[in-house]
């Protein structure tokens, strides 16, 4: 939760500091049109990142509060009696679901 808050605050502060004008130090390097396009991309990428982070946090909170980790644990333990294999299945399923969400 702390990492989410810190990353959200830093992303919002970074978005607020985006300007359309090329800084004086980079006027020789950046074309004005290219700079505006890159800032627009940065803004869109940051918004998507904020949405994705919020969605992931909500999913984790729902899973924790509804006991779905316990349901997954019972399912995995019904498939195998080996504790190491059960742990690998458990975390493997979580990683696959996480990849599908992200």
What does the radius of gyration of the chain's CA atoms come to, in whole angstroms? 21
Confidence of residue 22 (pLDDT cuts 50, 70, 90): confident
* Distance in angstroms between the alpha carbons of the first and the last residue of the chain: 18
Query: How many helices, marked H, and strands, marked E, lie in the chain?
Result: 4, 0
Q: Do the Cβ atoms of 99 and 91 come closer than 8 Å? A: no
Query: Span 8-30, mean pLDDT?
Result: 86
8 Å CB contact between 20 and 36: yes
Q: Residue 35 above 90 pLDDT? A: no
Query: How far apart are the C-alpha atoms of 71 and 69, rounded to whole Å?
Result: 5
Q: pLDDT tens digit string along 82-96?
A: 999 999 999 999 999
pLDDT at residue number 67 = 95
pTM, full prediction? 0.72
């Amino acid at each position: 939760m702390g990492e989410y808050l810190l990353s959200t605050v830093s992303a919002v502060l970074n978005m607020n500091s985006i300007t359309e004008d090329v800084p004086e130090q980079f006027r020789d390097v950046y074309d004005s049109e290219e700079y505006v396009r890159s800032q627009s991309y940065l803004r869109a990428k940051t918004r998507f990142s904020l949405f994705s982070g919020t969605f992931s946090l909500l999913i984790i909170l729902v899973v924790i509060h509804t006991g779905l980790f316990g349901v997954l644990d019972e399912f995995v333990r019904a498939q195998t009696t080996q504790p190491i294999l059960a742990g690998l299945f458990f975390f493997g399923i979580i990683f696959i679901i996480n990849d599908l969400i992200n």
